[in-house]
Every structure is written in C-alpha cells, then in structure tokens.
Amino acid sequence: MSRPRKAEDPIRWPVPCNRCGQHHQTVARWPDGGLCGYCYQQAKRTRGICACGHEGVLPGIIEEQPTCRRCSGVRLNVDCVGCGDEDELYSGGRCWTCVLGDVVDDLLTNQATGSMADDLIPLAAALKSMKRANSGLTWIQQKHVTAFLRNLAVAPHISHETFDELPASRTREYVRGLLTEHGVLPQRDELRMRYDSWAAEAIERVKDPQHLT
Ligand SMILES: [Zn+2]
Ligand SMILES: [Zn+2]
Ligand SMILES: [Zn+2]
C-alpha cells in the first residue's frame, strides 16, 4: 500500500530527508536524522529481527541495517493494546490484525442473538488470519462483502443450498471455498452443479408452452 510520491520541493523543504535524500516535509526527527512522511511510513512497516535478537518492528537504522527501537533510540508507538504485539497501529491503538478481527466478529455475529453460529467460527478464524491484514480489511469493508457476511450471519443453517440461494458472486464462491477448506461444507463438484442447474433450466424452457409451438 505505498502511496505514489509527490514531486519533491527543494524551495519549500530545503533540508532533505536523511533517509531518501529527497526534499519533502520532515515529519519526525529520529536519532539518525529527519525523516520525510514516506520514510516514516516505511519505517513503521519494517519488520524483522534486529542484530540484538529482538523480533518485531525495526524502525531505526544503524549502519544501514534496520534496527529495533531499543537499539536505535527511535521513539515510536507500535505496541498494540489489543494483542500486545509490535506492529503498525491502525486505529484506537490497535494493529491491523486486531481491527480486522473485530470487524469479522461483528459481521459474523447474529445481531439478534448476540452470538455467532458454530458453523461460522472456522470461517471467522480463517478471515481473521489473512496474511495481509490491511488488504483483508480493505476487502471486507466493501459494501457487497459486508452485506454478504451479514446475510450469512443470520442464515438458519450453513449448507451448500444456503449459499445457492444467496446472489451469485465471487464473494459467495470465495467464502464457500473457505468453508469447504475448513470442513464445514462438504466438497462438491461445482462444475457438475453448474451443469445440473443449466440442464434443469433447459428442461424448464422446453416445457414452457411458448417453446412448443
Ligand atoms: Zn525520506
Ligand atoms: Zn535491537
Ligand atoms: Zn494487535
């Protein structure tokens, strides 16, 4: 999710960024120097294992190597209040993964009963563990995905037929695939199903008196 860079402006920002050398507004002053917004964003998202052995966010730079806060003296809040992990914080002091988890729980909970159907628990777990939580959040917050998951949350039971009755979409097949993968739904030959429904419709068309003339 890197934003396209604006053109640099040496007149407005005469002192270049210490990391990229370009003339942008300085948004932070760290022990290694002033940083532009782009480098600051990138630093927050740099993860790995520091030379000291610490694993987590490595915002600092020492001898061109990404370095943890403790070694570099960089002061940056990357402590998630939800899971306690070091990560880029998204909102309310929570990391992307925690926020995604909250959204998934909210969408898959039947608001009338206040609980989640047992069948949907593996789906919730799968959605929460998406590797790129920020892309996952962008995906799940699209109107059609939100609406689909809310519908599923109130479905009386989860079966292939439940899915067949919901409007056809890529979201529907993606979620069906996840539930099949987690053993909530049995494997089904989708090609065969599509053929059968096509064949049934074809028979209906033939039976239609308009086609008998
Ligand atoms: Zn920079
Ligand atoms: Zn370190
Ligand atoms: Zn978290």
Which of 157, 160, 164, 152 has its CA nearest to residue 188? 160
At 156 the pLDDT is 84
Amino acid at 108: L
Residue with tokens 């570099």: 72
In a domain, 86, yes or no: no
> 139: CA distance to ligand 2 center in Å?
34
In a domain, 200, yes or no: no
DSSP-derived secondary structure letter, 115: B
In a domain, 35, yes or no: yes
Considering the domain architecture, whether residues 160 and 107 belong to the same structural domain is answered as yes
First-to-final CA distance of the chain: 60
pLDDT band at 203; cut points 50, 70, 90: low
In a domain, 89, yes or no: no
> What are the residues whose beta carbons fall under 8 Å from the beta carbon of 201, sequence distance 6 or more?
none
Considering the domain architecture, whether residues 9 and 35 belong to the same structural domain is answered as yes
> 41: CA distance to ligand 1 center in Å?
9
> What is the C-alpha to C-alpha distance for residues 208 and 213, in angstroms, rounded to an integer?
10
Verdict on whether the full-model pTM lies above 0.85: no
- The mean per-residue pLDDT over the stretch 63-73 comes to 96
> 99: CA distance to ligand 3 center in Å?
7
> What are the residues whose beta carbons fall under 8 Å from the beta carbon of 79, sequence distance 6 or more?
86
Considering the domain architecture, whether residues 108 and 45 belong to the same structural domain is answered as no
> 109: CA distance to ligand 2 center in Å?
41
Instruction: Count up the domains in the chain and report the number.
Output: 2
Question: Domain end: 42, 76, 110, which one?
Answer: 76
In a domain, 110, yes or no: yes
In a domain, 87, yes or no: no
Range of the domain at 9: 1-76
In a 3-state reduction of DSSP, which class is residue 79? strand
